[in-house]
Amino acid sequence: MPRPAATEPGQSRYAALAAGLRQRIVAGEFGPGDALPNEQALAQAEGVALGTMRRALDLLAEQGLVQRVQGRGTFVRQGLAGAPMLRFFRFGQGPQQLPGSRILARHTRPLPAEPAQALGLPVGSPGLLIKRLRLLNQRPCLHETLWLPLPRCAALAEGDPALWGDLLYPLLAQRCGVLVHRAVETIGFGALAAAEARALGLPAGHPCAQVQRQAFDLAGQCVEWRRSLGDAQAFQYTVTLT
Amino acid sequence: MPRPAATEPGQSRYAALAAGLRQRIVAGEFGPGDALPNEQALAQAEGVALGTMRRALDLLAEQGLVQRVQGRGTFVRQGLAGAPMLRFFRFGQGPQQLPGSRILARHTRPLPAEPAQALGLPVGSPGLLIKRLRLLNQRPCLHETLWLPLPRCAALAEGDPALWGDLLYPLLAQRCGVLVHRAVETIGFGALAAAEARALGLPAGHPCAQVQRQAFDLAGQCVEWRRSLGDAQAFQYTVTLT
DNA sequence: AAGTGGTCTAGACCACTCT
DNA sequence: GAGTGGTCTAGACCACTTG
């Protein structure tokens, strides 16, 4: 009975195997889109039965870290595509197309209280502030305020934002090596301040829906704080309870 | 190789076993809270290996139909407790207590278009309309409009609503034999009409959050349509994306 | 045809809950 | 101690994808 190094005591074998694989993925041994070795190889390498290794891989798949494809292999999942923000809103009808982006401002600034807390950094740490407008059919529909932690996302503090394209997360991945893997959003309701209202072409004080987002990388570090504002009339969201 | 009756062709054995068990539960052979026979017995009865039956039971557990408890057994889950409506709102702070209910109206009426469609019944079918106010610390916080399908929920058309207690779903279970197992909710924002505003003690036209709910029984039949209105200021909801 | 994950078997032993 | 679900093994065969 070999009792190889369990990552945590009191854990089942397959959970330990999953944790080990998770670490290897986070460490970059397998990049996004890469295939893992096949089950047989992994099981043999760890000296464990095939079924046990399968269980570990299934666990990682449940957690969204890998994706299993019959006949092809087990692959490390890509990060979040980005811009699923619009799923909360119904602007016009017809096929939902990709929203455009217009950067309104970009500054390096000390982090204010709320973003700092969300990012898990001390207030006043260096941050990158971005304001942008999301557009659908050339019409402004969302006003966003973003804060990014600065040593880490420094690559975005330089260069012409006009060349960035419409999605932030692919940019974060390419330029900063930051892969967004999970996000938590909080929905609320308020009234538009003058500046945002003007940008959206709505009257000041107009009711708006507010979506605050924290985005996390593979290691669980928060790498973005964002607040998006849109017309409350257009807001709609569906949940299922069980 | 016995190939006993699969509930559906082209399905894996464990999926078929799960479907069979599901049917038996829906048919009432095992009521909410009852224990299923143990794995060994079920596997033997179906002439299948233990692991395969386990897989079927795990599937039902994933779907929320049963709950597995180590050392005790596998149990049919109770229906939704009810009143998780308040999870969308933060009224005051401190420990969230159970909301009170005051029935404002109850009528038997032909179903209007929207509730009829949600319930999967023709417009004009007999329905039971209920309006009620949810209260927290004696203060009104939610205004609800409910439609129930009528032959089925007839027991609620009689008797004194003042004796109903604060939760609808336990009532539906006891008096009508209707077990709510799943619900779908859609969130939107709007403005309060005069009547609702008055009931909630807010000015007419005040911004409000609106939660529409369809509740389903074990068989997947819609058994309730509901619209709840509350102060938009108090609204807050959190989602996780992966 | 070779390689992958998906299903199924038949058994052993462990961890937990109840009486 | 008896009974339950949870873990693990070692193997067989199937279904799907790709060259």
A84 contacts on B by Cβ (under 8 Å): 241
Predicted local confidence at residue B229, as pLDDT = 95
Q: pLDDT of B31-74, one tens digit each? A: 999 999 999 999 999 999 999 999 999 999 999 999 999 999 99
For residue B64, list chain A residues with Cβ-Cβ distance below 8 A. Answer: 242
Mean pLDDT of B103-116: 97
d(CA A52, C1' D11) / Å: 14
Query: Which carries the bigger pLDDT value, residue A233 or residue B148?
Result: B148
- List the one residue out of A187, A16, A10 whose CA is nearest residue A85: A187
Q: Is the pLDDT of residue A5 over 50?
A: no
Q: Do B239 and A185 touch (CB under 8 A)?
A: yes
Among candidate residues A60, A18, A85, A79, the one with its CA nearest the CA of residue A223: A79
Dump pLDDT digits (tens) for B156-169. 999 899 999 888 99
Residue B1 has pLDDT above 60, yes or no: no
Query: Do B229 and B205 touch, CB atoms closer than 8 A?
Result: no
Q: Is B81 on the interface with A (CB under 8 A)?
A: no
Query: What is the spatial distance, in angstroms and rounded to an integer, between the CA atom of A54 and the C1' atom of D17?
Result: 19
Show which positions of strand D are touched by protein (CB under 7 A): 3-12, 15-18
Tell me the pLDDT tens digit for each residue of A104-151. Answer: 999 999 999 999 999 999 999 999 999 999 988 888 999 999 999 999
Query: What does the block give as tokens for B237?
Result: 């909801």
pLDDT digits (tens, 9 = 90+) for A60-88: 999 999 999 999 999 999 888 765 667 77
pLDDT at B4: 40
Q: How far from each other are the two terminal CA atoms of chain B, in whole angstroms?
A: 42
Taking the C-alpha atoms of residue B113 and residue B129, their distance in angstroms, rounded to an integer, is: 13
pLDDT of residue A4: 41
CA dihedral A192, A195, A200, A204 (to 10 degrees): 40
More confident residue, A50 or B83: A50
pLDDT of residue A88: 78
Tell me, what's the pLDDT at A3?
38
B63, closest residue in chain A (CA to CA): A242
Tokens encoding B175: 């008096």
Give this prediction's pTM: 0.86
Distance, CA of A155 to CA of A129 (rounded, Å)? 13
Please give the average per-residue pLDDT across B195-222, as a whole number: 94
With contact defined as beta carbons under 8 Å apart, do B186 and B212 qualify?
yes
Q: Is the CB of B175 under 7 A from strand C?
A: no
- Cβ–Cβ gap B236/A80 under 8 Å: no
Can you tell me which residue has the tokens 């034999």? B177
Cα–Cα distance measured from residue B46 to residue A159, given in angstroms and rounded to the nearest whole number: 67
The pLDDT assigned to B5 comes to: 41
Residue B8: how many other CB atoms lie within 10 Å: 9
Residue B32, SS3 per DSSP: coil
Nearest Cα to A227, choosing from A138, A118, A140, A150?
A118
Q: Per-residue pLDDT for A2 more than 50?
A: no
Q: Which of A184, A189, A241 sits opposite B240 (nearest CB)?
A: A184
Instruction: Report the pLDDT value the prediction gives residue B11, as an integer from 0 to 100.
Output: 86
Q: List C-alpha distances in Å: A242 to A27, A59, B115, B177, B214.
A: 36, 21, 21, 19, 12
Phi-psi region of A100 (alpha: psi -120 to 50; beta: other; left: phi over 0): beta
Residue A184 pLDDT > 90: yes
B176 interfacial to chain A (CB closer than 8 Å): no
